Structure 1
Amino acid sequence: MNHSELPLTNPLDLPPPPVSFWAAFAFWLKLGFISFGGPAGQISLMHQELVENRRWISERRFLHALNFCMLLPGPEAQQLATYIGWLMHRSIGGITAGVLFVLPSLLILIGLSWVYISFGDVPIIAGLFYGIKPAVTAIVLHAAHRIGSRALKNGILWAIAAASFVAIFALNAPFPLIVAVAALIGYLGGRFLPEKFSLGGGHGSADKSFGAALIDDHTPTPEHARFKWAGLIRVAIIGALLWSIPMGLMTATYGWHHPLTQMGWFFTKASLLTFGGAYAVLPYVYQGAVGHYGWLTPTQMIDGLALGETTPGPLIMVVAFVGFVGGYVKAVFGPDSLFLAGAAAATLVTWFTFLPSFLFILAGGPLIETTHNDLKFTAPLTAITAAVVGVIINLALFFGYHVLWPHGFSGSFDAVSALITVAAAIALFRYKRNVIHVIVACAVVGLVVKTVLI
C-alpha cells in the first residue's frame, strides 16, 4: 500500500491537545468580560466555545454538569464555569474560573455605582435613567413570561404560581416561606402525582457530537475529581472558616447590628434562596435591603437592576450595587471615606453571595462525577420554579408602580414612562430584541425626553 492509499484521519476524531492552566485562565478572563445576556446567553456562549469550538468537554459531560448546577441555589452559569474549571485543573482551576466569571462585573459595577450615586442628579444621567426604568419593568415582566412558559405545564403548577403571587402581594409573606411551602408541595406532589411534577431537565439532548473532546463521554474521571470523604470534610471545614472568620471579625469589630455585619448575614441567606435565577431572589433582596434595612430606596433598586442588566456577569451581581449604595449612604467608614465604604460593602456582599456556590461545586462535584447519567429536576425544584413565576410578576408590578406613579397613586400618572414601557415590552415579546439593545434604546429616548422635549 502506498501513502496515497492510506486512509485520511478526520481531525475531529482526535481530541485537542491538553490545555494548560494559563491557557484556560486566559479564556475564563475573556469570558468574564463578554458574558452578557443573562444565564441563557452565558450558558450558550460557554457551550459554543467549550463544546463546539475548542472541544474541551463533550456535549454529554457539559449537560451533565449543567443539570447539576441547575439543581443548586445560585447563578448556574457561574457554577458551570467553576465546575468545568475544577474538572480540568483541580480546585485552583475551579476557583479561578468562578472568580474570573464574577470579578470584571464587580469592578465595573463599583465604578458605575460610584458614578450613579455621585452624579445621579446630573441632567444627562437622570435622563438616561428616566428611560431605563420603564425598560426594566418590561424586562422583569418578560422574565416572568419566559420562565413561566417553561415551568407552568399544567394546572397544578399554575395554581402554585397564582398562590405565590397572592402570598407575596396581598399577604406580604416572606420569600423564604414561599420557597419552603412550594418545596413541600413539590415533595408531596412528586410522591402522589409524579406525572405533574416530573418535567425533566429541559436542556435538550446529549446525543450531539462535535468531535472528540478533551473530556469526552468515556474519559475516566480524573483522580482529583473522585469522591473521597477526606476531600468532602476538607472543603466543608475550609468553607466554614472562609465564612466564619470574616463574619466573626466584623461582629467583634463593629457589632452584630452594624450595616456591614448585617449585609454579610443577609446576603448569605440570599445566596441559598436563588433557585430559579436572580429574578427569583430579587423580591427577597428588595424586602430586606429596601423594606427592612433601608440600605437603598425603591427607585435606586430599579436603577441597580438596570446597571446589572447592562454589565457582564451574573445578574445576581446587582447585589454589588445594593452593597455599594448601602455602604456609601450609611457612611460605614465615616463621611470622608464614602467611596471606600461603598467599594468595601460591594466586595463584602459579593463574597458572601458567591461563597456557597464555590462550596457546592467543590464539595458536590466529586459526588456527581461518580455517575454520568443525566440528572433530572426534582419535584420540589419544579414547584419552587412555579412559585418563582408568581413572585416575579409581583416584582414587575412593584417596579411598574414606582415608574408610572413616581409620587404614589395620589400623584400624577407618568404617561411618557408608560409609552416607553409598552414599547420596550413590544420589542421584547414581539420582536425578540436583545435586552441590552432595549435598555440602550430606552435610555436614549429618556435622554431626549428629559433634555430636549422637557
Structure 2
Amino acid sequence: MTGLPDQTLAPAQPSFAEAVRAYARIGWLSFGGPAGQIALMHREFVDDRRWVDESTFLHALNFCHLLPGPEAQQLATWIGWRLHGFRGGLAAGLLFVVPGALVMFGLSTLYVLAAGLDWFAALFLGIKAAVLAVVVQALIRIAGRALKTPFLRGIAAASFAALALFALPFPFVVLSALLLGWAAARWRPGWMKLVPAKAGLLPPARSAWRQSLSAVLLWSAVWAAPMVLILATLGRGHVLWDIGAFFSQLAVVSFGGAYAVLAYMAQEAVSGFGWLHPGEMADGLGLAETTPGPLILVTQFVGFLAAWRDAAPFTPFVAALLGSLLTLWVTFAPCFLWIFAFAPWIDRLERAAGLKGALAAVTAAVVGVIANLSLWFALHTLFRRIGRASWGIDVPVPSSMDLSAVLLAILAFVLLFRVRIGIIPLLAICSAGGLLLDFG
C-alpha cells in the first residue's frame, strides 16, 4: 500500500532551529486542555514530522502521567530533551507555556479593570455556567478511565467524602491515596488491575545518576531563587512570599492536573488567604479555558489578583506582574525538575509496580476531588448565598437560587453533552447568553 508512513524507518532528526519553530507553533495552538494538546503533539511529532516514533511517544506519555503537574507540558519538555538534550527540553517546555501566560496576563488585566460593571458580571455568569459543564465532563471522562476496580472506586468515594463532608486537607488525601495504592500493588495486585510493563532489557544506568543529581541541584536552586530574593528584600510577611510558598506546595501535590487541585486552591485562596472572592475562581478557570497552553495557568490568575489587591510597596500593576511571574516560576520550575531528573530513568520507572499502583490510586482519588470541585462550582454558580451547616459543610440558601445561572447551566450541558460543541464556542455562546439575559 502507498500513502502510509513507514513506521520501520528511524525517526528523523530535526535541527534545533526547526524544532524551536515547531514548539512555538504548538505553544500558540494548544487549546482544548491536555487531551487536545497531546493529540496536537502526536500529529506534529509522530504523524507529520516523524521526529518521535509511536511507541516512544506513548511510553513517555505514560511516564508523564506519573508526575505532578501538567502532563502535556511535561510531555513537550521530554520530547525537546530527547531531541536536543537540555536546551531542547528547556525550549519546548517554555514555548508551551509562554504564549498562554502572555494571553492570561492580558485577560487578567482586563478582568480587574472591568470588575464591578454589570455587563461584565453578566458575561462571567455565562462563563461560570460553561465551566460547570466542562468540569462535569472531565469528571465523567476521568472516572471512566480510572475506576477499573471496586478498590479504586472506593478510593474515589472516600476522597470525595474526605473533602466534601469532612474538609480534610487536599495533600492528606493525595498522600493517603499514594500509600494505599503502593500497598495494594505490593500485596493485593488484583485490586488494581495494573498493566504489566513490556519485557526487554533495561538501558544501562551509566551516567543517569549524575544527570539526575545535576538536574535536581540545578532546578531546586532555580525553584528557590525568587523565594530567597523575596525573603531578603520583603520578608515572610509579604503577599509575594505567601504566593510563592503556596504554589510551590501545590506544585508537589498537583497529580491529575488543574481540575484536581482547583477546589483546594479555591478554598485556600478564598477562605485561607482572602485573595479571591468565591465566584472568581470559576472566572479564572473560564479565562484559562480560552487561552493556549496548560489549564494550570489558572494559578497565574490567582497570583495576579492576590498581588493586585495587596500591592504595597509596589503599584497594583507592578505587584500583579510580579505575582504572575512568581506564580508561573514556582508552578513550572518543578515540572522541569521532574523531567530532567527522571527522564534518564523512564524505562526503569515504567517497571516499578509499587509506583504504578500508587499513581493509579491517586488518579482514582482525583475522581473524588473533581466530584467535590463540581459540587463546589455548582453551589457557587447556581446560588447567590452559601451558608454553613452545623456539622461544618457548605449548603446553599434555597431562596438565593439564580434563575439566570440555572438556565445558562442547562444550555451549557445541552451544548456540551448533546451537541458536542467545542470549549471555545461553548464559552462564547454561554457568555452571549449571560449578556442577553442581563439586558433582557
Which residue of 1 is the match for residue 65 of structure 2? 70
Alignment equivalent of 1:156, drawn from 151, 154, 179: 151
TM-score by length of 2: 0.90
Write the deviation string for residues 161-214 of structure 1: whole angstroms up to 9, x where unpaired: 111111111111000001111112112222232122134399xxx9xxxxxxxx
Larger RCO (alpha carbons 8 Å, 6+ apart): 1
Q: Note if 1:186 corresponds to 2:181.
A: yes
Q: Note if 1:54 corresponds to 2:34.
A: no
Structure 2 stretches of 5 or more lacking a match?
387-395
Structure 1 stretches of 5 or more lacking a match?
1-7, 207-217
Which residue of 1 is the match for residue 404 of structure 2? 416
- Matched residue pairs, number? 427
Alpha carbons 1:189, 1:196 under 8 Å: kept? yes
Rate the CA distance shift 1:162–1:370 in 2: closer, same or farther, 3 A. Answer: closer
Which residue of 1 is the match for residue 105 of structure 2? 110
Write the deviation string for residues 10-49 of structure 1: whole angstroms up to 9, x where unpaired: 9846557531111111111111111011111100110011
Write the deviation string for residues 62-86 of structure 1: whole angstroms up to 9, x where unpaired: 1111111111111110000000101
Larger radius of gyration: 1
Alignment of 1:304-383 (within 5 A): 304-334=284-314, 337-368=315-346, 378-383=356-361
Alpha carbons 1:227, 1:370 under 8 Å: kept? no
Task: State, as a whole percentage, how many aligned pairs show the same letter.
Answer: 44
Cα distance in 2 for partners of 1:201, 1:392 equals 28
Alpha carbons 1:67, 1:374 under 8 Å: kept? no
Write the deviation string for residues 290-311 of structure 1: whole angstroms up to 9, x where unpaired: 2211111111111001001111
Greater shift, 81-90 or 290-299, is seen at 290-299
Which residue of 2 is the match for residue 450 of structure 1? 438
Tell me the amino acid that sits aligned with residue 440 of structure 1: A
Which residue of 2 is the match for residue 261 of structure 1? 241
Alignment equivalent of 2:421, drawn from 433, 439, 450: 433
Which residue of 2 is the match for residue 212 of structure 1? none
Which residue of 1 is the match for residue 391 of structure 2? none
Rate the CA distance shift 1:429–1:255 in 2: closer, same or farther, 3 A. Answer: same
Write the deviation string for residues 426-454 of structure 1: whole angstroms up to 9, x where unpaired: 22233332222211110111111112x0x
Alpha carbons 2:34, 2:294 under 8 Å: kept? yes
Rate the CA distance shift 1:46–1:170 in 2: closer, same or farther, 3 A. Answer: same
- Please provide the CA RMSD for this pair: 2.7
Q: Secondary structure at the match of 1:272?
A: helix
Tell me the amino acid that sits aligned with residue 179 of structure 1: V
Greater shift, 124-133 or 255-264, is seen at 124-133
Cα distance in 1 for partners of 2:159, 2:213 equals 37
Tell me the amino acid that sits aligned with residue 174 of structure 1: P
Rate the CA distance shift 1:396–1:373 in 2: closer, same or farther, 3 A. Answer: closer
Greater shift, 227-236 or 100-109, is seen at 227-236
TM-score by length of 1: 0.88
Cα distance in 2 for partners of 1:271, 1:61 equals 26
Alignment equivalent of 2:372, drawn from 372, 394, 401: 394
Alignment of 1:213-232 (within 5 A): 227-232=207-212
Residue 328 of structure 1, CA deviation: 0.5
Q: Note if 1:126 corresponds to 2:121.
A: yes
Which residue of 2 is the match for residue 22 of structure 1? 17
- Which consecutive aligned stretches of 4+ in structure 1 deviate over 4 angstroms post-superposition? 8-11, 13-17, 369-377
Cα distance in 2 for partners of 1:391, 1:312 equals 25
Residue 317 of structure 1, CA deviation: 0.6
